[in-house]
């Protein structure tokens, strides 16, 4: 039975890579868009906000339609929309009167696909029969990290060999991955998340459970703990060490993503020997120490090392919280996973925003902004300890 679902799990791993493509490819082209289409930087930065805003909306709305149309149709649709958005990126800026509206439309289409994938991949893997679901969940989310690293490295290599003016060719190449995976999802077996004869929990039922709210806050904190450092790591490297943007991207976000992926892959391989709660508690403590190191150590080089260590420490937070929620609510269904994805995305957008606001208020002092962000891993640690009071029976 498990062997039959290996292809399904592998397709979900590729689905995480597709998520990484739609979230991380276009930001590499911001300056190119600015130069080619004369789009002001204020509008360019709106693309990131718009992408994640659409994904948040999809997280929320998916509760109402995913169960109706089914996981297979939803998965295929998510991949087709992701591919379509990347392909339209190459033609809409020239077809529409405003290049910016063309880019925004393409981003909107692939953001719907990316948002659907975020809601779908975790429950599909959770539903697959396996001996250790926590291991599978951690391994699944490690592929987002590897996808992120791959998109940045391979795109940088392509641009250096063929020139950034050929970015449209690369967009078409990247679109082939979701297109191919759509065909895979049309055929692979997909198990039911909820056992036959049982009904999934409704939103009202979830909202009345204290444990759900603890897990939701943990998801917000997981996303915030991750992105509060990740989004600012490049800027921190450039300002603190006075190095180029390319070197800053490699030293900051790239090292962060590699170590975050390594943490998830490690638990994905050895999770059957490690208690999930213990791993999450130790990771949260390491995260708190890394935040303090980034903000309080007087040596920029050591602070940058702490940025990378932070990546290692946050790896288990997102998949670990998903696994705890799935164990706590076996009948949680789509509603549970969609709301957890929503909480995670809120944290991903809110964490860096809070760091930015505090930094600006204190005279653009990024160290103090990150020090304020230590509240996120502290809250997450409190949530893990609170969860231990509840029975998961």
Q: What is the pLDDT of residue 273?
A: 86
- The dihedral sign for the CA sequence 315, 319, 325, 330: negative
Q: What is the pLDDT of residue 146?
A: 93
Pair of tokens at residue 256:
């962060």
Q: What is the pLDDT of residue 391?
A: 53
Higher-confidence position of 243 and 170: 170
Q: How confident is the model at residue 114 (pLDDT cuts 50, 70, 90)?
A: very high
pLDDT averaged over every residue in the chain:
87
Higher-confidence position of 305 and 89: 89
Sheet strands (E) in the chain = none
How many residues are there in the chain?
Answer: 393
The helix, strand and coil proportions of the chain, stated in percent and rounded to the nearest 5, come to 85, 0, 15
pLDDT above 90: residue 385:
yes
- Only one residue has tokens 């549970």, namely 336
Averaged pLDDT, 343-366: 85
Q: Is 307 helix (H, G, I), strand (E, B) or coil?
A: helix
Q: What is the pLDDT of residue 193?
A: 75
Averaged pLDDT, 120-149: 88
Calculate the dihedral angle through the C-alpha atoms of 67, 59, 338, 73, rounding to the nearest 10 degrees. Answer: 30
Question: Do 338 and 119 form a contact (C-beta atoms < 8 A)?
Answer: yes
The dotted CATH code for 1-193 is 1.20.1250.20
In this predicted structure, which of 150-164, 212-226, 234-248, 318-332 has the lowest mean pLDDT? 234-248
Q: How confident is the model at residue 244 (pLDDT cuts 50, 70, 90)?
A: low
CATH 2.40.50.140 fits 198-393, yes or no: no
Buried b (16+ CB within 10 A) or exposed e, 236-268: bbbebbebeeeebbbbbbbbbbbbbbbbbbbbb
Question: Do 134 and 39 form a contact (C-beta atoms < 8 A)?
Answer: no
**Model confidence over 9-23: pLDDT tens digits?**
999 999 999 999 998
Pair of tokens at residue 390:
């509840």
Q: How confident is the model at residue 51 (pLDDT cuts 50, 70, 90)?
A: confident
pLDDT above 60: residue 392:
no
pLDDT above 90: residue 35:
no
Closest CA to 148 of 259, 33, 43, 53: 259
Distance of alpha carbon 105 from alpha carbon 26, whole angstroms: 13
Q: Is 115 helix (H, G, I), strand (E, B) or coil?
A: helix
Closest CA to 24 of 184, 227, 319: 227
Averaged pLDDT, 29-51: 81
CB atoms within 10 A of CB 198: 11
Averaged pLDDT, 237-249: 65
Q: How confident is the model at residue 197 (pLDDT cuts 50, 70, 90)?
A: low
> Is there a common fold for 1-193 and 198-393?
yes
What pTM value is reported for the model? Answer: 0.85
Q: How confident is the model at residue 195 (pLDDT cuts 50, 70, 90)?
A: low
Where are the domains positioned within the chain?
A: 1-193, 198-393
**Model confidence over 266-319: pLDDT tens digits?**
998 888 888 999 999 999 999 999 999 988 988 877 888 898 899 999 999 999
Pair of tokens at residue 165:
């003016």
Distance of alpha carbon 279 from alpha carbon 323, whole angstroms: 13
Distance of alpha carbon 361 from alpha carbon 354, whole angstroms: 11
Share of the chain above pLDDT 90, in %: 48
Q: What is the pLDDT of residue 393?
A: 36
**Model confidence over 202-230: pLDDT tens digits?**
788 888 889 999 999 999 999 999 888 87
Averaged pLDDT, 72-94: 96
């Amino acid at each position: 039975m498990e062997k039959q679902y290996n292809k399904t799990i592998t397709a979900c791993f590729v689905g995480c890579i597709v998520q990484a493509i739609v979230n991380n490819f276009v930001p590499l082209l911001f300056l190119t868009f600015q130069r080619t289409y004369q789009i002001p930087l204020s509008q360019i930065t709106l693309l990131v906000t718009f992408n994640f805003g659409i994904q948040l909306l999809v997280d929320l709305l998916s509760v109402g339609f995913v169960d109706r149309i089914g996981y297979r149709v939803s998965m295929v649709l998510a991949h087709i929309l992701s591919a379509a958005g990347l392909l339209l990126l190459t033609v809409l800026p020239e077809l529409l009167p405003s290049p910016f509206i063309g880019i925004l439309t393409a981003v909107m289409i692939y953001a719907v696909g990316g948002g659907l994938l975020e809601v779908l991949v975790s429950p599909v893997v959770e539903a697959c029969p396996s001996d250790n679901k926590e291991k599978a969940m951690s391994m699944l989310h490690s592929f987002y990290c590897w996808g992120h690293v791959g998109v940045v490295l391979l795109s940088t290599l392509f641009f250096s060999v063929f020139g950034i003016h050929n970015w449209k060719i690369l967009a078409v190449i990247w679109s082939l991955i979701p297109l191919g995976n759509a065909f895979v999802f049309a055929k692979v077996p997909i198990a039911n998340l909820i056992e036959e004869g049982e009904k999934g929990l409704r939103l009202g039922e979830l909202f009345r459970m204290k444990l759900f709210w603890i897990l939701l806050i943990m998801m917000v904190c997981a996303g915030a703990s991750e992105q509060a450092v990740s989004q600012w790591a490049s800027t921190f490297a450039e300002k603190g060490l006075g190095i180029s943007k390319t070197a800053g991207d490699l030293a900051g976000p790239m090292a962060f993503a590699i170590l975050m992926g390594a943490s998830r892959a490690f638990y994905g391989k050895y999770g059957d020997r490690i208690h999930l709660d213990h791993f999450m508690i130790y990771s949260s403590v390491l995260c708190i120490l890394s935040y303090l190191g980034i903000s309080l150590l007087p040596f920029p080089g050591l602070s940058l090392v702490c940025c990378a260590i932070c990546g290692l420490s946050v790896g288990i937070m997102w998949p670990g919280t998903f696994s705890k929620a799935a164990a706590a609510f076996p009948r949680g269904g789509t509603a549970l996973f969609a709301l957890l994805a929503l909480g995670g995305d809120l944290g991903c957008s809110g964490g860096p925003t809070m760091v930015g606001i505090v930094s600006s208020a204190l005279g653009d002092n990024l160290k103090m902004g990150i020090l304020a962000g230590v509240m996120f891993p502290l809250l997450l640690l409190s949530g893990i300890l609170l969860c231990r009071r509840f029975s998961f029976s």
